[in-house]
Amino acid sequence: MQLRSGKSERKSGRRIVIDLQKAERGLKEGRQKDVETLCTEVLDERPGHVHALQILAELRIKQKRLDDAMTFIEQASAGEPDSPRTLNLLGRVLNNRDRLAEAEVAFRKAAEGDPEYADAHANLGHVLRRTGRLAEAENAFRHAIRHDREHGLANLSLGAMLYERGLPEQAVPHLQAGLKRELTNRTGQYNLATALHELGRMDEAITAYRRLVAAGDDDPAVYSNLAAALQATGDPELATAGFESALELNPNFGPAAAGLAGILETSGRAEQALALLAPFVRGGDETPSVHVAWAHVLKTLERRNEALVHLAEMIKKPGRPDDTIAAHYVVGEILDEMGEHDRAFAHVRHANRLRHGRYVPVQRERDVERLMATFTRESLAAMPHGSQSDAPVFIVGMPRSGTSLVEQIIATHPRGAGAGELPHVALSAQRIGRYNKSGVPYPECVSLLRERDLKELSSAYLARLFQESERARRITDKMWHNFEHLGFIEMMFANAWVIHCRRNPLDSGLSCYFQSFGTAPPPFASDLGHIGHYYGQYRRLMDHWHEVSGLKILDLDYEALVADQEGESRRIIEFLDLAWDPAVLSFHENPRPVRTASHAQVKRPIYTTSIGRARHYEAHLGPLKEALAAAGYPAESPAAS
C-alpha cells in the first residue's frame, strides 16, 4: 500500500495532466499502445477519471470495438453526465451502429453544451446528411468550419455536397482544407481530383489522381480519369497507358474502353476503335460513354444511320442528364452533316441546357481589364525576359476558327512541326498565381517574376515543344486561348511568333455551340449569348495586344485562306521567315496524328462547306447576334462558297 501511495503521489496533479496530453497526441498520431498504457496508468491512480475514459473510448472507436467503447462512455457519463465530449463519443458509436435518430440527439446535446465544439457540429452534419436533410447538414458543417477552419470531416463533407450540387469551384477550397487534416482520406482525394478535372485545372487534377495511384489505389476509375486528364494536356501516350492500366484492373471497365477508343479514332484507327468497343456494346454494357464513343466511330466511318439508331435507344432511356449530354451533341453533329438543321439544333440546344455553363460576363470583363492594366506597353518594356528562342509559334483565336488547319499547313513544311494544343502556358500562369510567396494572383503576380524564373518557365516549355521535333525551326502550339496570355508569352519568348486566326463570328460561334469540348468545356460555350459576349472580350483583348505587344502577330482570316489557299499559305510561311515549299499545299497528306476536334477536317483538302454554315441556323441565332452587336461586332453569315 505504501508503494501504491507513493506512486499515486508521483502520478497526481500536473503529471496526470501531462500524461493525458501525451495520450491525446498519441491518439492523433496512431500510437495506440502508448495511449493504452498512459490512460490505464491514470485510471489505476484515479479510477473513474473522465478524461482518461474519454480517450480510451475514442481509441476503441478507432479500433472498431464499439462494445468496449460504450463501456468507457457509460463510465465517463457517470462522472460527468452532460460532458459534450462524452455525448459526442456516444453519438459516434450510435452512428456507427446506424441508430441515427439517437446519434442525432447525442450530437445536438453535445453542440448545445459547447456551441464552439466543431467536432459535434461536424458529426451532427454527417448524420443529417445521411438522413437526407442536406440544408441542415450544410449549416452544421459551416458552423463547424467557423470554429475550426481546417476541420477534416466538415470540410470534406461540405466539399462533397457542393460538388454533388454541380459547384466544383466552391467545393475545391473545402476539399483542400479538409485534406490538410485528412491527407489519406481516399474519398476526399478522389472528389478533389474530379472537381479539379471538371474545372479544367488539369495539372492539379493529375497530381491528385497520381497521389491516389501512389497510395496503391486499385480503382480503374482513378486510372481512367487520370488518363483523360493526361489526354486533355496533350499527352496521348501516357493517356493510352492509363486507359490500358484501367482495363488491366477491370477488363470490363467501359469508361476506359471509351477513352482508349477515342484516342484510336483521332489517330486514324477507327476500325480498331470499333473492334475494341464491340464486345462492350454487344454485351449490353450500360456505360453511356461507351455508346457515345461507338456512335462517334460509326459517324467517322460514315455509318451515320447506324449511329443515330444506336443513340436514339440510349437517349430514350431514363438516366442522369450528364449521361445524355454527349449523346445529344453527337446526334446534333450527324444531323447537321445530313442537312437536317432544325433537328440538329434541337439536340445541341438540349445538350447545352443540360450542361449549365459557369460563365459570368461581368467577371470576364474584369479579367480582361486586369490583363490590360497589367500588360501595358511600358510594363512589357520594363519586365525581364526568359528565352531568346524563336522556335515557338502560338496559333490563337476563338475555338473553331481554323487553328488546326493553320497548324497542319505549318507542320507540313520541312522545317515546321506541330505540337497540338499545349496547356503549358495557362498552367504556368495558374501556378505562379497560386504559389507565389506574396499571395498575389495572376496576372498581377508577373511583376514579381525574375529573369531566372522566366528562364526556368521557358526552358520547361521548350523541352515539351521540342519533343515534336529537334530539327524544326518553327513549332506550333495551337492552344486557342493563349490569346489571353500573350503578355506573359512575350515575357517568356520575346521572339515568338503569333498567328491570330479569325473567322466570321456567327460561323465560329455556332461551331462552338455545336462542339462538346470533352470533359472540361469552356464555360461560355453552352449559351449563344455568352458566346457573343466572350467573342467581344476576346477581340477587345486582341486589339490591346496589337497596340502594346512587341510580338510579331499575323492576322489570318479563315475565309481568305479557304478562298486563296496558296496565297494565304505563302503569307504564313513568309511571316515565319521560312522558304516557300509547295508541300504545304498538300497538308492533308501529312500523316502526323491530329488529336483535336478538327482531326477529320485537316485530313481532307480545303473545302468550302463550312463557310456560311450559320445561314442554315438563322432562325436560332438571335441571342448570338444580339450579344455580338452589343459588343460592337454586328455580324451576318458570309455567303456560301
Per-residue pLDDT tens for 328-339? 999 999 999 999
Mean pLDDT score, 552-573 = 96
What does the domain layout of the chain look like in residue ranges?
2-214, 252-347, 361-630
For domain 361-630, which architecture applies? 3-Layer(aba) Sandwich (3.40)
Give 296's pLDDT tier (boundaries 50, 70, 90): very high
Give 318's pLDDT tier (boundaries 50, 70, 90): low
Query: 3-state SS string over 525-568?
Result: CCCHHHHHHHHHHHHHHHHHHHHHCCCEEEEEEHHHHHHCHHHH
State the chain's mean pLDDT as an integer. Answer: 91
Please give the order of strands across the beta sheet that includes 474-477. Answer: 416-418, 474-477, 392-397, 497-502, 552-557
Beta bridge partners of 502: 557
Mean pLDDT score, 104-117 = 95
What is the structure's pLDDT at 53? 94
Cell of 337: 452533316
What is the structure's pLDDT at 517? 83
Q: Summarize pLDDT for 488-509 with one digit per residue, the tens.
A: 999 999 999 999 999 999 999 9
What is the structure's pLDDT at 405? 93
Cell of 367: 479579367
Say whether domain 252-347 belongs to CATH 1.25.40.10: yes
Mean pLDDT score, 271-281 = 95
Give 319's pLDDT tier (boundaries 50, 70, 90): low
Residue 409 DSSP SS3: helix
The yes-or-no verdict on residue 151 having pLDDT over 50 is: yes
The yes-or-no verdict on residue 340 having pLDDT over 70 is: yes
Which range (81-95, 183-197, 302-316, 386-400) has the least confidence? Answer: 302-316
Mean pLDDT score, 192-209 = 91
- Could you tell me where the beta strands, DSSP code E, fall in 399-444? 416-418
Do the domains at 2-214 and 252-347 have one common CATH topology?
yes
Mean pLDDT score, 3-10 = 41
The yes-or-no verdict on residue 600 having pLDDT over 60 is: no
The yes-or-no verdict on residue 3 having pLDDT over 70 is: no
Q: Which residues contact 86 (CB under 8 A, 6 or more apart)?
A: 50, 54, 57, 73, 76, 77, 80
Mean pLDDT score, 355-360 = 83
Cell of 149: 477552419
What is the structure's pLDDT at 109? 96
What is the structure's pLDDT at 272? 96
Spatial separation of the C-alpha atoms in residues 284 and 295, rounded to whole Å: 15
pTM above 0.85, yes or no: no
What is the structure's pLDDT at 149? 94
CB-based burial of residue 284 (10 Å sphere; 0-12 exposed, 13-18 middle, 19+ buried)?
A: exposed
The yes-or-no verdict on residue 5 having pLDDT over 50 is: no
The yes-or-no verdict on residue 323 having pLDDT over 80 is: no
Q: Which residues contact 440 (CB under 8 A, 6 or more apart)?
A: 433, 448
Give domain 2-214's CATH superfamily.
Tetratricopeptide repeat domain (1.25.40.10)
Q: Which residues contact 161 (CB under 8 A, 6 or more apart)?
A: 129, 134, 137, 138, 141, 171
The yes-or-no verdict on residue 212 having pLDDT over 80 is: yes
CB 454 within 8 A of CB 428: no
Handedness of CA 407, 411, 413, 417 (dihedral sign): positive
What is the structure's pLDDT at 200? 82
Nearest by Cα to 492 from 546, 441, 553, 426: 426
The yes-or-no verdict on residue 512 having pLDDT over 60 is: yes
Which range (125-139, 172-186, 426-440, 454-468) has the least confidence? Answer: 426-440
Mean pLDDT score, 184-192 = 95
Percentage, residues of the chain above pLDDT 70: 93
Spatial separation of the C-alpha atoms in residues 111 and 106, rounded to whole Å: 9
Spatial separation of the C-alpha atoms in residues 510 and 174, rounded to whole Å: 37
Q: Summarize pLDDT for 228-247 with one digit per residue, the tens.
A: 999 888 788 899 999 999 99
Mean pLDDT score, 44-64 = 93
What is the structure's pLDDT at 352? 93
Cell of 193: 481530383
Spatial separation of the C-alpha atoms in residues 549 and 528, rounded to whole Å: 31
The yes-or-no verdict on residue 561 having pLDDT over 80 is: yes
Spatial separation of the C-alpha atoms in residues 515 and 157, rounded to whole Å: 34
The upper half-sphere exposure of residue 424, i.e. CA atoms within 13 Å in the direction of its Cβ, equals: 22
Give 10's pLDDT tier (boundaries 50, 70, 90): low
Give 623's pLDDT tier (boundaries 50, 70, 90): very high
Helix, strand, coil share of the chain (percent; to 5): 70, 5, 30
Mean pLDDT score, 104-115 = 95
- Any idea how long the chain is? 641
Q: Summarize pLDDT for 12-42 with one digit per residue, the tens.
A: 578 889 999 999 999 988 899 999 999 999 9
What is the structure's pLDDT at 7? 43
